[in-house]
Chains A and B, each alone.
Chain A
Amino acid sequence: MARDGNRFNWRIAFLAGLLILATAGIVYRLFTIQVLDHERYRLEAQEEHLDKRLVRSARGAILDRSGFPLATTVDVFDLYVDRRAWRGAAAAAAVAEAVAARVGRPAEPLLARLLDDAAGPVELIEDAIPFEVGREIEALGLPGVVLAGGSQRYYPEGDVASGLLGFIGQDHSGLSGLEADLEETLGGRPGALYFERDGGGRPIVLGETRFEPGTAGADVRLTIDRHVQRLVESELDFQIEAHDASGGTIIVMDPQTGAILAMASRPGFRLSSLSLDGGDEDLFRNRAVTDVYEPGSVLKTITMATAIDRGLVNPNTTYYDSGSVEKGGYTFKNWDFSAHGVTTMTELLQKSLNTGAIWLSDLIGPDDMYASIERFGFGESTHSGLGGEAAGLLRTHQDAGWYAADLATNSYGQGIAATPLQVVTAIAAVVNGGTLMRPYIVEEVSSPEGRRLFAPVAVRRVVSEATSRTVVQMLWDVVDGVPFHRAQVSGYHVGGKTGTTLVSIPTGYALDSTLASFVGFAPVEDPAIIMLVKIDTPQDDPLGGVVAAPVFGKLAPAILSYLDVRPAAAAARAGR
């Protein structure tokens, strides 16, 4: 008996032990859930019970350099109808009549739309109703009419700078241009409305609600000047039409700081006729920074500056131009197949001789030549902050697939691809005293938290001040030293260089299409502006000196006068 009793006790003890263990496990689990992981489960429960709705913050304005708004936001209402609120057609008719009278539409089509149940019980009837009109409709207390507050982007200058500014989507996020590039700054931080919801997800009327206010977007002041931008765009459109060209680009920059005063490229889109239905995506990019081209003879300026900076030549150094040069098994000729005999460096630039540029590149050598081209910023993005900026294409003697003939073609701007912004930035470095400036477009960001000013950034010195002065003098001779040069501006001393390149195609070059370009600056004494003009595939004349240079000659006086830059004679008398 006693043995049986002991066995029984052992079994009871085992069972009790199991129960104790299980209970301890449950207690431990409860302790974990309710004490250790309390915060985590509280948040999860809150997630279940609370719903969150984002409340959009006001989007900041984009201003030009004088503070004038190029894009701003106004408050509007979107009008929805809830058909379930109507008992019959009479109520719908009353709504249609009241709404139509205030939004300036005929009542009959609106009524037909209201009575059409195919669109579902709730439908957006009218968007972007002016704020005051919306409030007026709201005050009527019409059954089934719901007004939702919203905002709309407004462009006081119309289509000016469309491609640069870009546009926003229905969710008010930037989709292209500066609106997209500066989304974080302009968009601000949305607020959040938390509310308790029932099983069906509907807000509980007396439930817990909490509002976390957002932060309004900051206003962004650009370096762009609306007047200069408008002048440039209108002239670019005119020139494209006049030359039956496929497109073009004009950039105006302050060479001393890198501030971009105007930037326009075509083909592009217009904000007033923007269509997002598809097919226009190709128009949405800013070609001044996204598309590359071969700069052509404009790059002879860089080759010359490099040779002068290394002490290899001076403006009076001569070489013999026989009209053609053999390099790497290829024969290179001048653009007009001419030969000029003994030629000075200044004449080389004036006549834009390919043979001279090749002679210089031989003097410089590939090591120094490519090091210099890279120092001028070719082959890397300018880091201007504009979206989609291309780095360009540069193949040096250290890259695979490089041929000796490449050094020759590169010396006069072919076989190398750069964006218009890279080209104008590089030439600006030549004329501003020898410092490569980072091009920039945002001057100031101002928000309730404060103002942030963006100062010009000097990237690096590329040539000495003496070299810069010498090349500026030579470029002055290129424009004002050549009678009837079409970039000349009455009253101002102008320097510059033309460029004409064949359009590159997958199989080589299209012999009947050119890109005509000119980079000019004024006044020579203290350059206030540098301007790149590029006209794509002009049909009437292929040359940069005929097509692009006159655009500079036309725009520069208007811009210089607007910027209050003194004419040369007055400046000289003032002791400059």
Chain B
Amino acid sequence: MATLDRLAPPPSAPLAPAWKPRRAIAVALIAAAAIALLQVFQSGSSVHTGLSLQRLERQQADLTASVHELEAQVAALSSLDRVERAARERLGFVPAKSILYLEVATEAPGGLLGPPPSIAAPAAAASESEAVPWWRDLLRATPFD
């Protein structure tokens, strides 16, 4: 005969895993280490960026100084004193004692640079009188054309 075992404990729910402080401490340590590493990486990255910035700023300063220097050199090379010295010493020029204005009877060539070179010039368009033979004109005047 089956009997109910009243003394037997009722079936219970599965037990929650026991709290293990060591595991928690390890997790906390790992998290702390990760955070610390992150800080280190961030600081490193920041320092690296700062150094790069410094280097670039220095490069920029150098280039700006070079630009100023080159501009000054250009100015010095094109100064009137230097141009006059070169004209006198290298080219043998002397200041004009008087200025003469010459009248040129012929028409000035068209354009600032004068006539274009023949090789680049477009083929001259023949005038109508040249392109059409004389007999054609004559024919035009007659009812045969």
Please list the residues of chain A having a beta carbon within 8 angstroms of any beta carbon in chain B: 68-69, 72-75, 130-132, 135, 149, 154, 156-158, 160, 226-227, 230, 490-491, 557-558, 561, 567, 569-570
Contacts and interface: CB of A to CB of B under 8 A. Distances in A.
Contact of B81 (A73, A154, A157, A491): A157
Contact of B101 (A149, A160, A570): A570
Interface in B64-111: 64-66, 68-69, 71-72, 75-76, 78-81, 98-99, 101, 103
Nearest to B83: A227
B137 interface: no
B30 to A, nearest CB: 30
25 contacts: A72-B75, A74-B72, A75-B64, A75-B68, A130-B69, A131-B62, A131-B66, A131-B68, A132-B69, A135-B62, A154-B75, A156-B72, A156-B79, A157-B79, A157-B81, A158-B79, A158-B81, A160-B80, A227-B80, A230-B80, A490-B98, A491-B99, A561-B99, A567-B101, A570-B101
Nearest to B79: A156
Nearest to A492: B101
Nearest to B98: A490
A569 B103 contact: yes
Nearest to B58: A135
Given A75-B65, A227-B80, A570-B103, 17 more contacts: A68-B75, A74-B65, A75-B69, A130-B69, A131-B69, A154-B75, A156-B72, A157-B80, A158-B81, A160-B80, A226-B80, A490-B98, A491-B99, A491-B101, A558-B99, A561-B99, A569-B101
Interface of B: 61-62, 64-66, 68-69, 71-72, 75-76, 78-81, 98-99, 101, 103
Contacts of A74: 65, 68-69, 72
Given A74-B68, A569-B103, A156 B62 contact: no
Contact of B65 (A131, A154, A156): A131
Nearest to A61: B71
B95 to A, nearest CB: 9
Contact of A557 (B65, B68, B99): B99
B68 A73 contact: yes
A361 to B, nearest CB: 41
A135 B78 CA distance: 27
B101 A154 contact: no
- Per DSSP, chain B at the interface is helix
A72 B69 CA distance: 10
Contacts of A157: 79-81
Ordered nearest first, which 10 A-B pairs have the shortest CB separation?
A: A156-B75, A75-B65, A131-B65, A567-B101, A156-B79, A69-B75, A74-B68, A74-B72, A557-B99, A491-B101
A570 B105 CA distance: 12
Nearest to A159: B81
B79 A72 contact: no
Contacts of A569: 101, 103
A220 B55 CA distance: 32
A210 to B, nearest CB: 15
Nearest to A156: B75
A154 B99 contact: no
Contacts of B78: 68, 156
A79 B35 CA distance: 47
B112 to A, nearest CB: 14
Nearest to B78: A68
Contacts of A490: 98-99
Contacts of A567: 101
A154 B72 contact: yes
B56 to A, nearest CB: 15
A128 B11 CA distance: 96
Given A491-B99, A569-B103, A156 B76 contact: yes
Contacts of B61: 75, 149
A563 to B, nearest CB: 13
Contact of A72 (B65, B71, B81): B71
Nearest to B71: A72
Contacts of A130: 69
